[in-house]
């Protein structure tokens, strides 16, 4: 089997293992899987795992990647989450094709494997309750105590397991345990649980089962059943690896056993990544749902206007390693901004408007200027932007008495109105309190299209919107959801919820947009020229357009900090 052409690129350690297996260990088809538990929405950390697992399947001939729902904890799981996970993986640009599986597909098979281990003296039904099991497990320094049921005859265990399965016993009365070693230096190996009784309906298997498999038992065997070659997970499972191997070897259904490989999980500044915490943010209404644009969920990021390619580039950039680290938010926005710069449609939007009147422009005249939609991509075409006597510009593009270095509009100064004309400011109107109500200007008809008529230069180019054509919009501006870089660090005695940034959402309703934006589409990225990247929010209606601020044009957060 040949590897791809990117030989000059240095391989991350996971790919080194895989290439070594292909080149030296006789592996012919690499099989990975992405195994989310359907108990929440996917977040940017999952994206790292998706890019790694599905990415590998795109690199090697014959390689595949399964999407497997690890659905062994019915109380927290739901089809809503399964649907969102599928939508998010697809949106990120990956495809499991016909390889969609559920651990619950294997409940019957796993049960059969458990019976086999019981018959072989490798598992037993234990009557200690969870408390007693914990109490007899020992410590890192001290061996645990054997369960009184450890030598239970296998026939008895088989029949008890059958009764457990069929709901004869209450939760917590019996468990099935692997018979390994109560003195093992790795605590995970001290007769770990394989099944516990849980009389609760499962979103797929209903009330058929009163026992559900534990993670280590279900996960390794699901990998083995699917013929996974490399089972990639995060570092905290390193201590589980001996148990993973023990189960896979004990059941022994294939020659080439799946290999568990651990990598460092993604931690990103100013957010939390644990599903439990994300669920709490949603349930306690600290945010407006899983897809709130401030959430680190894929759904939130999509709604915010981050692009799948930007996220994939980010995952490539941060790489895959064995060492936990905290990634700065700037690294994330850098990747997204790079992609947005390529794909965003350029438009003019005035976020904080002030009126301009061109005194020498004919009262009812309207001109339409053909404007490129995206200078980075000719295929995006052009549109017509109307220009008329009354316009809006940004308040901060005007100063009554500007300093020398201010290259925007000021009384007596000339600037270019982007794509339209050279405009000179003549005077201002003020109300009784001295607030400017309108700026009076003149235009040079010879400068049509924004081109200099006689070689004279202007230093500033500003954006504008025709007042009578402008459409109103609400703009939602976001800041980090948390005010500290590592909100999960509770060493200061404060819970992550106490670190929520109270000002993370700011709404403004005064924006004036160029009229083409009335046809804005959800999922399309816009660059509001000189202002930043924006996208239409799903809360929009025909009567009211709402745009989310995705990110600024430049790295304003980094600057703010310094």
Tokens of 255: 């020659």
Q: Is 266 in the site for ligand ATP (CB under 6 A)?
A: yes
Helices 44-59 and 308-318: crossing angle in degrees, nearest 10, is: 80
Q: Contacting ligand ATP (CB under 6 A), which of 30, 36, 77, 516?
A: 36
Q: Could you say which of 265, 355, 448, 530 is catalytic?
A: 265
Q: Is 273 in the site for ligand ATP (CB under 6 A)?
A: yes
Q: Is 331 in the site for ligand ATP (CB under 6 A)?
A: no
CA atoms within 13 Å, Cβ hemisphere of 256: 15
Q: How far apart are CA 316 and CA 92, in angstroms?
A: 13
Q: Give the number of residues in contact with Mg ion, rule: CB under 5 A.
A: 1
Q: Are 373 and 348 in contact (CB under 8 A)?
A: no
The closest of 531, 562, 535, 533 to 546, measured between CA atoms, is 535
Q: Are 211 and 196 in contact (CB under 8 A)?
A: yes
Q: How far apart are CA 546 and CA 536, in angstroms?
A: 6
Q: Is 280 in the site for ligand ATP (CB under 6 A)?
A: no
Q: Is 230 in the site for ligand ATP (CB under 6 A)?
A: no
The DSSP output letter for 447 is G
Q: Shortest distance, CB of residue 333 to ligand ATP, whole angstroms?
A: 18
Q: Which of ligand ATP, Mg ion, none lies near 49, with the C-beta cut-off 5 to 8 A by kind?
A: ligand ATP
Q: Could you say which of 37, 367, 372, 390 is catalytic?
A: 37
Report helix, strand or coil for 282: helix
Query: Which CB atom, from 250 or from 318, has the smaller least distance to ligand ATP?
Result: 318
Q: Which of Mg ion, ligand ATP, none lies near 65, with the C-beta cut-off 5 to 8 A by kind?
A: none
Q: Contacting ligand ATP (CB under 6 A), which of 30, 31, 41, 45?
A: 45
The closest of 393, 303, 380 to 345, measured between CA atoms, is 380
Q: Shortest distance, CB of residue 15 to ligand ATP, whole angstroms?
A: 16
Q: Contacting ligand ATP (CB under 6 A), which of 146, 186, 234, 501?
A: 234
Q: Which of ligand ATP, Mg ion, none lies near 48, with the C-beta cut-off 5 to 8 A by kind?
A: ligand ATP
Q: Which of Mg ion, ligand ATP, none lies near 87, with the C-beta cut-off 5 to 8 A by kind?
A: none
Give the length of the chain.
Answer: 562
16-75: which residues touch Mg ion (CB under 5 A)?
Answer: 37
Q: Is 55 in the site for ligand ATP (CB under 6 A)?
A: no
Q: Are 150 and 191 in contact (CB under 8 A)?
A: yes
Q: Which of Mg ion, ligand ATP, none lies near 274, with the C-beta cut-off 5 to 8 A by kind?
A: ligand ATP
Q: Contacting ligand ATP (CB under 6 A), which of 15, 31, 46, 204?
A: 46
Query: Which CB atom, from 86 or from 501, has the smaller least distance to Mg ion?
Result: 86
Helices 107-119 and 154-165: crossing angle in degrees, nearest 10, is: 160
Q: Are 443 and 360 in contact (CB under 8 A)?
A: yes
> Segment near ligand ATP (CB under 6 A), from 12-20, 200-208, 268-276, 541-549?
268-276
CA dihedral 69, 73, 77, 82 (to 10 degrees): 0
Query: Which CB atom, from 216 or from 291, has the smaller least distance to Mg ion?
Result: 216
Q: Shortest distance, CB of residue 296 to ligand ATP, whole angstroms?
A: 9
Annotation marks residue 413 as catalytic: no
Q: Shortest distance, CB of residue 300 to ligand ATP, whole angstroms?
A: 15
Annotation marks residue 401 as catalytic: no
Q: How far apart are CA 1 and CA 522, in angstroms?
A: 43
Separation in Å, CA 143 to CA 149, 177, 503, 541: 17, 17, 52, 65
Q: Shortest distance, CB of residue 82 to Mg ion, whole angstroms?
A: 15
Q: Could you say which of 275, 294, 303, 389 is catalytic?
A: 275
Residue with tokens 């458990």: 114
Q: Which of ligand ATP, Mg ion, none lies near 179, with the C-beta cut-off 5 to 8 A by kind?
A: none
The closest of 176, 230, 228, 220 to 198, measured between CA atoms, is 176
Q: Is 274 in the site for ligand ATP (CB under 6 A)?
A: yes
Q: Are 554 and 333 in contact (CB under 8 A)?
A: no
Q: How far apart are CA 96 and CA 480, in angstroms?
A: 33
Query: Which CB atom, from 70 or from 414, has the smaller least distance to ligand ATP?
Result: 70
Query: Which CB atom, from 31 or from 48, has the smaller least distance to ligand ATP?
Result: 48
Helices 215-226 and 107-119: crossing angle in degrees, nearest 10, is: 110
Annotation marks residue 499 as catalytic: no
The closest of 382, 377, 345 to 525, measured between CA atoms, is 345
> Segment near ligand ATP (CB under 6 A), from 133-141, 248-256, 267-275, 478-486?
267-275
Q: Are 126 and 157 in contact (CB under 8 A)?
A: no
Residues that bind ligand ATP (CB under 6 A): 35-37, 45-46, 48-49, 70, 233-234, 265-266, 273-275
Which residues are catalytic, by number?
37, 265, 275
Residues that bind Mg ion (CB under 5 A): 37
């Amino acid at each position: 089997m040949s590897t791809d052409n990117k030989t000059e690129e240095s391989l991350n350690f996971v790919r080194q293992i895989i290439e070594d297996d292909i080149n030296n260990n006789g592996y012919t088809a690499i099989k990975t899987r992405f195994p989310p538990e359907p108990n929440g929405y996917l977040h940017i950390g999952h994206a790292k795992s998706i890019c790694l697992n599905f990415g590998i399947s795109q690199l090697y001939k014959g390689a595949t990647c399964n999407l497997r729902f690890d659905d062994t904890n019915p109380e927290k799981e739901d089809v809503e989450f399964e649907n969102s996970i599928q939508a998010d993986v697809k949106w990120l640009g990956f495809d499991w094709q016909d390889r969609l599986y559920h651990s619950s597909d294997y409940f019957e098979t796993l049960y059969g494997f458990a019976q086999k281990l019981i018959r072989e003296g490798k598992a037993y039904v234990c009557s200690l309750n969870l408390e007693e099991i914990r109490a007899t497990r020992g410590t890192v320094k001290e061996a645990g105590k054997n369960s009184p049921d450890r030598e239970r005859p296998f026939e008895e265990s088989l029949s008890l397991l059958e009764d457990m399965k069929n709901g004869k016993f209450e939760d917590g009365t019996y468990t099935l345990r692997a018979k390994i070693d109560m003195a093992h230096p790795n605590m995970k190996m001290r007769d770990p649980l394989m099944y516990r009784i849980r009389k609760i309906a499962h979103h797929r298997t209903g009330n058929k089962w009163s026992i559900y498999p534990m993670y280590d038992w279900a996960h390794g065997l699901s990998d083995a059943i699917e013929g996974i070659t490399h089972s990639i997970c995060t570092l905290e499972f390193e201590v589980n690896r001996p148990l993973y191997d023990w189960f896979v070897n004990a059941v022994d259904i294939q020659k080439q056993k799946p290999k568990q490989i651990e990598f460092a999980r993604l931690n990103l500044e100013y957010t939390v990544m644990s599903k439990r915490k994300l669920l709490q943010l949603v349930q306690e209404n600290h945010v407006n749902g899983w897809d709130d644009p401030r959430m680190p969920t894929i759904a939130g990021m999509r709604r915010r206007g981050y692009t799948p390619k930007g996220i994939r580039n980010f995952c490539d950039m941060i790489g895959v390693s064995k060492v936990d680290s905290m990634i700065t938010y700037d690294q994330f926005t850098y990747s997204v901004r790079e992609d947005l710069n390529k794909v965003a449609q350029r438009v003019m939007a005035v976020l904080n408007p002030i009126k301009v009147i061109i005194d020498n422009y004919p009262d009812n005249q309207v001109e339409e200027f053909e404007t490129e939609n995206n200078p980075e991509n000719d295929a995006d075409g052009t549109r017509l932007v109307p220009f008329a006597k009354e316009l809006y510009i940004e308040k901060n593009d005007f100063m009554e008495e500007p300093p020398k270095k201010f290259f925007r509009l000021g009384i007596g100064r000339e600037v270019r109105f982007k794509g339209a004309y050279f405009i000179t400011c003549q005077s201002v109107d003020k109300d009784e309190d001295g607030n400017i109500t309108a700026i009076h200007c003149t235009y040079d008809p010879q400068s049509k299209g924004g081109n200099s008529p006689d070689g004279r230069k202007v230093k500033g180019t500003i954006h504008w919107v025709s007042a009578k054509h402008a459409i109103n919009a609400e703009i939602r501006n976001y800041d980090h959801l948390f005010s500290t870089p590592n909100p999960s660090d509770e060493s200061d005695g404060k819970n992550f919820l106490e670190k929520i940034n109270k000002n993370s959402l700011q709404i403004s309703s005064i924006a004036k947009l160029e009229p083409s934006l009335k046809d804005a589409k959800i999922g399309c990225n816009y660059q509001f020229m000189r202002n930043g990247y924006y996208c239409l929010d799903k809360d929009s209606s025909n009567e009211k357009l709402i745009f989310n601020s995705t990110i600024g044009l430049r790295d304003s957060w980094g600057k703010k900090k310094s």
